[in-house]
Structure formats: structure tokens, C-alpha cells
Structure 1
Amino acid sequence: MTTIKELNLFHVPDSIELNHFDLKTVNGKDMRYVLKFPVLKGEELKGIIQQVQSNRDEYLSALSIIEIVEKIHLAVQKWLNPEYPLRKLAEQLIPVMTGYDEEMVRLQLKRYIRTFRKKELLRFLDEEFDQPAMLDEFRPRKSGGMSKAFGPRTIFHVFSGNVPGVQVWSIIMGLLVKSGNIGKTSMAEPLFPVLFAESLAEVDQKLADTIAILPWKGGTHELEEPAIEHCEAVIVYGSNETVEKLRRKVPPHKRFLSYGHKISFAYVGKEALTPDLYYDTIKKIAEDVSIYDQQGCLSPQTIYVEEGGAIGSKPFAQMLGAELERYHKKRPRAMLTDEESMSIQRVRSRYQLESIQHENVSVFSSQTDTSWTVIFHKETGFEGSPLNRFVHVYSVEAVESMLSAIKPYQSYLQSCGLAVSPNRLFSLANQLGSCGVNRICSIGEMNQAKPGWHHDGRFNLIDLVRMTDMERTLEQNVEWYDTDFE
């Protein structure tokens, strides 16, 4: 007999009572889950925001930054235990909800959560603030005077659901600047931020009470309006269309940060294609392409392969296809919607026709479905893909042709996975940076951004805070008002 378990897809402060819910049922391996999420009115959401703000004012704002880091660290330590019940729940249910391979989710969540341990958070704070203590108190500046950093009272986060875990990063950013957090989740993956908030509640209920995680349909004016009105900052993740719709609703005096559509790519130098290295290079590229089915902005959609190695760019493309086939057998791609499948088929068909007419294009793909696709181009260019393990491979005779190809798209460029010799690294990195690339990393690690990386080339915490400066002459002049001063 199948066991039935009810599971909340929301988190609100302990003092809030919700009364109206919708239910959705999903089947796990040995259990049927009844997923429960609230049906909210604008006034209810306003009340939740006000309670989060009150809790933030009374508790979070008075914590020191090191106390906040310690509490987050304790919650993270729970997730590093393979037997932790919430981790086991996430590992079982997120694959069911998203369609991602179970083993892939397990490995990626484990890798991701480790980036929020105490040492990583301290490194992240030091990366952005010369003195992280300025989040607690006025601290001396080298030029004289004192400064303190103030975060927004409350942040409204609009999350996408394509990559599990990203929501937690945004919430932690909010906590580090001592902000209350209102998170709107996507029904594509509403679970992980709720579970993490529950972990924080196990460590410190008062801290968890400065967070509300709520799912609702994007574009619901009745809920978006009070969230924007009563929060001092808005952070949006999603498509460019989603970002622009919300940007128009946010008044100019409020902080608005957005993380929209970006494209990543890899550059494989001939040094990585020697007889003893080329297979390992191809294997790493295949993993970069396959993790979360390219749904994240860090996954490569285009691979540039330099000629002159032990294998040429076309055999590289063919072998990459074979490796993607092996990877699919080990960790299958998620099931696609009809629209997603048709998008892949349309692009495949276009290039299959072109390959008949021209020798400069070849198509390597899974035979019975759309599990993976590699389009080989003899002439260097640039093109995004319909995702879901679909990648373009371009032949490169000289670096300059690759740089010319990517430059028109610099506003969309995100990460570049790089495999070149040390004597070319800094020169090429400088050229890539000039073209708009904001993260350069090793192939095989494209989806593993490190703590403190400059997302979309910007700061993270500094973009959220405002600084208050106390001038040096004020420090000196107030001495005259000390009754004991002579």
C-alpha cells in the first residue's frame, strides 16, 4: 500500500496562519506526496510582508554579520549529512518535479550546498567589503571618516525554476545584508528554498521568521503589486521578457537587480587535443553540456575547437556526440514538452538540409529521439541552441575569428570554459573580457561557479546596500561638545 505524505510548498513566519490552499499530487519511489500551496489574496501577502519586516527589525537587524554566517553554516552542515531527512526528501522529490536525473540532482545539490559553508561565506564577504563589519557598525575608512553599509529592509525575489538551488543563493545574499526576504517561487521547482528555510528554522526559528517563500503564477498583478510596493529592493531571475515586465513595474527609487538570458561557450585549444588529453577534454565538455540539460546560464551552447591538435574539430564533434550518448545512458535527459521537442527538430532539420547542400555543416544526433544533438560548422560563427543537450561545434583556425564571432553578442555572454596552455591564458582571458565575458573557468567546471563570483559581471552584496558616510571633520568637531574636553 502506498504511503501518502502531505508537504508544504511554502514557508511563512511561525505567527502567520494561512487558510486557503490548492493541492497537487506527485508520486515518489515509495510514497505519494500531496503538495500543498496557499491561494493568496493581496491583503494576505501584505500582512506576510509586514510580519517579515517586523521580525527583521526586531531580530535580524540586531545580529552581527558573523552570527548570521554561523547560523547559515549550521543549516548547511545539516545538508552535508547524506542521512539528513530534508536532503533525502529533496534528492527524491526534485527529480520527480523537474524531470532531471536523480543521480545528477544528488551530485549537484551536494556540490552546490557546500559553497555556503562558513569559510566560503567569509571569503565572499571579504571579496566585496574591505571590512565586512561595516554591515554591523560604522568602520574607519582609509581616506578618513567612517562608513556603514545598510541593506534593504525587505527584498522581493522572483525566482526561476530551471536550475534547483539558485533560489537559496539569493536568499542567503538577503540575509547577509540583514534584509527580510519575500521569495516568489516557480511551480517548476518550488521545493528547495522551502526546505532550506526549514533547515534555518531548525537552527534558529527567529531567523527563519524573516523569510517567506510563496509560489504563485507569474504576472499575478494582485500579488506582484503589494510585493513591489512594500519591498525596498527587487531581484528577478528569468527570461528577458520576465525581467522587462517587472522592471517596468518597479519605481526608479527602488533597487532592481536582474539576471536574465545569458549564453556561455567553451574554447578548446590545440594543447587540450593531444593524444593523451583529447578524450578527457571531450568527456569534460560533455558533462558541461549535460548538467541540468543546459537550462542554466553557465552551460555551454557553443564549443570552439582549435585546429592543429591530434584530432580535428569535426572528429571532435563526432566523438562529443558519442560521449553525450554514453552520458545519456548513464544520466538520462529530462522528458521534454512537445514544444521543446519541436524546437529541437526544427533546428536539426534546417541543418540536415544544409549538410546535404554544403560540406561545411554536419549533424550528429541521437537516432530515435532528441536526447542530444551536435551541429558541426567548418566556418567559425556563433549561435545559441534550443538547449536540452544541443550544442554547436565550430572549427577555429585562429583565435581572432572566434573573438570576431562572439563580439556582436557581448551583452548576452556569460561564462567561457577554457582549455589552453599557460602561456596563452592571460592574453586570451583579457581578449575574452573585452568582448563581454564575465567568467572564465576550466572546462568540466562550467556549472560550478565559486563563492563570490561576479554574477553577470557585477558585485552581489554591494549592489544591494547603500553606504552612509560620516566625515572626518565631524568626528573632530564633536569633541568640542564633550564636557570633559579641554
Structure 2
Amino acid sequence: MKRAVMGTIKVIPVDIFKMPRGITLTNFGYQTITIGQLDYSLRFPIVTPDAIVEINDRLRHNQAAYLSHLTVAEIISKIDQAVNLWTHPDYPQRRLAMKLLPQITGYNAETVELEIKRFIRVFRKKELMRFVDSELDQPEILDDFHPQKSGSMTKAFGPETTFHVFSGNIPGLQIWSLIMATIVKSASLGKTSMSEPLFPVLFAQSLAEVSPELADCLAILPWKGGTMNLEEAATSATDAAIVYGSDKAVDAIKELVPKSKIFLHYGYKISFSMIGREALTPEYYLQTVKQAIEDVAVYDQQSCLSAQTIFVEKGGSTSPLNVAKLLASELANYQLKRPRAELTNEQAAAVVRLRNDYQLKALNDSDVQVFASDGNTDWTVVYHAHPGFVNSPLNRTIHVYAIDELEQVPEYLQPFKQYLQSCGLAVKATRLFSLANQLGRAGIDRISALGEMTRAKPGWHHDGHFNLLDLLRFIDVEQNTERAAEKFDPDVE
């Protein structure tokens, strides 16, 4: 990374794209971030549909020449080496990420550093081995033919190239998709959002330090979502598409993907928490509230795993109303410790509308109360004395519903079934799996402890589906084919 000096301001060029070797780009755009006496000049290519096709052709060539010949164990080992670089605080890419990501995303710097440190460790060797083993009984089935109980010999193949459309709401999340595709030996063409175009590029640079040939199976670049000619070129050229984003963004790409190709999508989702009375005893309730706030405050609810609603069971040592007040107090404390990102006018207006609506209701209905930050939209808690369910405008805005029994919650979820994602749950062990079964029937696909909702673990079924298996196709060599082949061996009687 070179530094240029202009007057007293140092200009540091930073590429927010990554191309395989052999691809030459000549037309670039720039975006500047100023931090103190440093100007970081973010450079990105302005590409054409023909360039997208050329890039994919290069990726396809590199996949056939290199990636397809690696074993799964070798791929995981190389990823692990790149991940381990990020565990060192003085690693240049990590330092650059920690400096620029808070500026790019608006998230609190301490939050970004803590969450990136936690997230990157999900992809260490031991975790990736667990992840692969959770979906493939024989991970080596991606390397060679292996015998099956049916008698056949079977091998799995991933797409040669995969098109990824990343959202920019959560820093680092993009590498989940990239790593999953790489494990199934697919080269990747990734489209980033200018809301967060940096982390996947920095990780690809780390991979290049470990294995330039493996890094040559990745291409990452930003362009404006909805640029039809580029997205048409990308979906036509690649063998699979994985799309993150709003339902509108998902639907727009889906229309472009031929039905014969793999299409995986992760659109808008709603998550919530449930607090049982046993978690509201004198020795536990303060800890419970602090844990619940982590699921609301981290990344300002922008993750689909973040809680938008909290159901609080009656009968604990403290009432649901008092829990709502404690949540409000803890959000105020959290704001002092790790301030929320600045909102766009549209985002702020959505929070103000919600506050106005419920404050108006509260004038005539004592069953509704609003607790909110004074003079700004930093945080909002809306308390409901009777159960229901509604989504949130996010940005540390939470609904709290009092409920007689948590077992009643599923009846309020039915209208939202297609959007349900995770549930943070605080109950005693004897209730856990009974409630989990009910929630699974209602549409929830993941249950975690309070405070861990935004930190999914290796092996989880994203939106209730597989991460690797959904990218694979299988070829079977039937046993009768083997028997027939044996007769052509002159040494066999």
C-alpha cells in the first residue's frame, strides 16, 4: 500500500476490489475517507458486461486448473492459515479494517473490533471441519468417488463459478458465502455493496498471502445494485447465484437466473427473544436484561439475527413492565458505551413515526407505554401489556410484550411465518425442547441463548437449509456398472 503526499494531507490508496491475476482493468472510480491528516482513497473499477464475462472466464479457468484439484482438507488448511493472520492485532489488513470499517459503516469502532475478532474465528480449521462434517458424512466425497450404503460409488461436484450478491449491513458477513463456495471447489464472483465493500477484499488479500493460486479463484468488486446489464452478465456467466439483501433485491436477481441453475437467497427476516419467569429471579434478572440488550444493540439490529421483539413471561420476581424499564435503562447505558450509528433521514423518520404512533396510543391506553431517548432517536422501547407481534424499524427500537405463558407465543407468529429466523431463549432446561419444538413448527430455524443471537455458530442451518449441500450435485456409479467393467479385466475369471 503506497502513500502519496499532497500538502499536509497524506493520501493512501486502498483498492476495494480484488481481481485474479491476468485481468487488466483501466477505468476506475474513487471515494475518499478522511481520518485526521490521512485521506484514504478507495479505488474501485467501473466495469462493463464484457468485463464481467472475461473475469468469469478467468475464474472458470483457474478453478479447473487449480481449485478443482485441491482436496477439501487442503482448502480448509489454506483458509485456516489466512484466518490465523487475522488473530494478530498488528496484522496490516486487520488494522486497516479496524480503522476504516467504522468510518464506512458508521458502526461504533469498539463494536466492529470485538465482533470481527469473534466472527473471524468461526472459520478456523477445527470449526470448518465441524461445519463440513455436519453436512457431509464423507467430506472426501468432494475429492473422489466413495462407496455408499446403496452400493453405488458417489462423488459430489460444486458449481464451477458462483455469483454472490452481498448486502452491506454487517461487516465481514460476506466471507461466509465466499468460504462455503470455496470449500465446494467453486470459484467466486462477488458483488459488494458500497455500504461495506472492504472486508471481503482484505480477506482475499490474506488468502493471496497464503496461496496466490487459491486467491485467483476469487473476484470481488462493487457496483450499484440493480445495474441490470452487469447482473445479467454475471448470472448468465456463472453456474450458481447466492443473494443476500432485501426481498426486492433478491427477487430482481432471481428473475435473471435461469431455472437450470442453482439459486440460493437470504432475504428479509425477523428474529425475537423470549424470557421465561425463571430467568427473572432476583439473582438472574439483571444479567438477563444485559444479555437481551446485546441482541438488540450489536450492529443496531441490522442483522436478520437481531431481536426486534422480546416476549417477557409474567410470574417472575420482576414484572414485564419493569423489564421494559430496565431494558430502556440498559439501552441508555449502552449508548454511552457504544453509540449507535448515525441514521439516514428515512431511518430516523421511521423511528419517529413509530414513537408518535405509540405515544398517541398511550394517551388513551394504559396498556401501552413508550420509553425513549430524550431529544434524539438513539433508542426506543415500546411496552405492550397484552401479547402480539410486530416488526421494528430497527436501530435499537424494541417491542416488549407481556405474556402469561411463553407457550402461547407461537399463536402470535403465524402471520409472519415466512419471515421468521432466530429466537433468543432464556428458560429452564425442562422447558427448552418443548418450546423449541413449538417454535420450529411456527417457522423459527435457530434458537440461541440470550446475548448470542447475532453470533451464529458453525454448522447452523442458515434459514433452515444447508450451506454446502444446497450447492452440490452428485454423480452415482451403480454397482452393476462396476461388475460389468470387471469382465473386461483379462486377469478376472
Normalised by the length of structure 1, the TM-score is 0.99
Matched, 1:416 2:423: yes
Give, as a single letter, the amino acid of the residue that structure 1 aligns with 2:326.
M
- CA positional deviation for 1:2: 3.3
The match for 1:40 is 47
The match for 2:5 is none
Q: What 5-or-longer segments of structure 2 have no aligned partner?
A: 1-7
SS in 2 for 1:147: strand
Q: Cα–Cα, structure 1 residues 471 and 8, in superposed 2: closer, same or farther, change >3 Å?
A: same
Cα distance in structure 1, aligned partners of 2:136 and 2:408: 39
- CA positional deviation for 1:249: 1.3
- CA positional deviation for 1:143: 2.1
Q: Which moved more, 1:399-408 or 1:20-29?
A: 399-408
Q: Are the equivalent residues in 1 in contact too, given 2:274–2:406 (CA < 8 A)?
A: no
Matched, 1:307 2:297: no
The match for 1:202 is 209
What are the Cα deviations for residues 169-200 of structure 1, in whole angstroms up to 9, with x where unaligned?
A: 00001100100100000000000000000000
Matched, 1:427 2:426: no
Q: Are the equivalent residues in 1 in contact too, given 2:83–2:120 (CA < 8 A)?
A: yes
Q: Cα–Cα, structure 1 residues 312 and 200, in superposed 2: closer, same or farther, change >3 Å?
A: same
Residue-pair matches, total: 486
SS in 2 for 1:112: helix
The match for 1:278 is 285
Q: Pairwise CA RMSD of aligned residues?
A: 0.8
Cα distance in structure 1, aligned partners of 2:35 and 2:473: 46
The match for 1:318 is 325
Matched, 1:78 2:82: no
Matched, 1:11 2:11: no
Normalised by the length of structure 2, the TM-score is 0.98
SS in 2 for 1:463: helix
SS in 2 for 1:187: coil
The match for 1:464 is 471
Identify the match of residue 355 of structure 1 among 338, 342, 362.
Answer: 362
Cα distance in structure 1, aligned partners of 2:58 and 2:479: 38
The match for 2:99 is 92
Give, as a single letter, the amino acid of the residue that structure 1 aligns with 2:143.
D
Q: Which moved more, 1:324-333 or 1:43-52?
A: 43-52
The match for 1:189 is 196
- CA positional deviation for 1:83: 0.8
Matched, 1:177 2:184: yes
Cα distance in structure 2, aligned partners of 1:297 and 1:264: 7
- CA positional deviation for 1:30: 5.1
The match for 1:241 is 248
- CA positional deviation for 1:52: 0.9
Q: Cα–Cα, structure 1 residues 29 and 146, in superposed 2: closer, same or farther, change >3 Å?
A: farther
Percentage of identical aligned residues: 51
Give, as a single letter, the amino acid of the residue that structure 1 aligns with 2:252.
K
The match for 1:211 is 218
Give, as a single letter, the amino acid of the residue that structure 2 aligns with 1:406.
L
Give, as a single letter, the amino acid of the residue that structure 2 aligns with 1:213.
I
The match for 2:143 is 136
What are the Cα deviations for residues 69-110 of structure 1, in whole angstroms up to 9, with x where unaligned?
A: 000000000001111010010011000000000000000000
What are the Cα deviations for residues 300-343 of structure 1, in whole angstroms up to 9, with x where unaligned?
A: 00000000011100110011000000001000000001111001
- CA positional deviation for 1:263: 0.3
Q: What 5-or-longer segments of structure 1 have no aligned partner?
A: none
Q: Cα–Cα, structure 1 residues 406 and 331, in superposed 2: closer, same or farther, change >3 Å?
A: same
The match for 2:66 is 59
- CA positional deviation for 1:165: 1.2
- CA positional deviation for 1:28: 2.6
SS in 1 for 2:315: coil
Cα distance in structure 2, aligned partners of 1:264 and 1:29: 39
Identify the match of residue 288 of structure 1 among 275, 288, 295.
Answer: 295
Instruction: Report 1:220-259 matches (<5 A).
Output: 220-259=227-266
Give, as a single letter, the amino acid of the residue that structure 1 aligns with 2:444.
V
What are the Cα deviations for residues 124-177 of structure 1, in whole angstroms up to 9, with x where unaligned?
A: 010000100000000111221111110001000000000111110000011001
Cα distance in structure 1, aligned partners of 2:37 and 2:435: 52
Give, as a single letter, the amino acid of the residue that structure 1 aligns with 2:65.
E
Cα distance in structure 2, aligned partners of 1:400 and 1:77: 44
- CA positional deviation for 1:235: 0.4
- CA positional deviation for 1:231: 0.4
Q: Are the equivalent residues in 1 in contact too, given 2:358–2:369 (CA < 8 A)?
A: yes
What are the Cα deviations for residues 40-81 of structure 1, in whole angstroms up to 9, with x where unaligned?
A: 111111111111110111000011110000000000000011
Cα distance in structure 2, aligned partners of 1:333 and 1:10: 28
Cα distance in structure 2, aligned partners of 1:126 and 1:214: 32
The match for 2:335 is 328
SS in 2 for 1:88: helix
Q: Are the equivalent residues in 1 in contact too, given 2:276–2:406 (CA < 8 A)?
A: no
Cα distance in structure 2, aligned partners of 1:341 and 1:447: 23
The match for 1:267 is 274
SS in 2 for 1:249: coil
Q: Are the equivalent residues in 1 in contact too, given 2:311–2:406 (CA < 8 A)?
A: no
The match for 2:4 is none
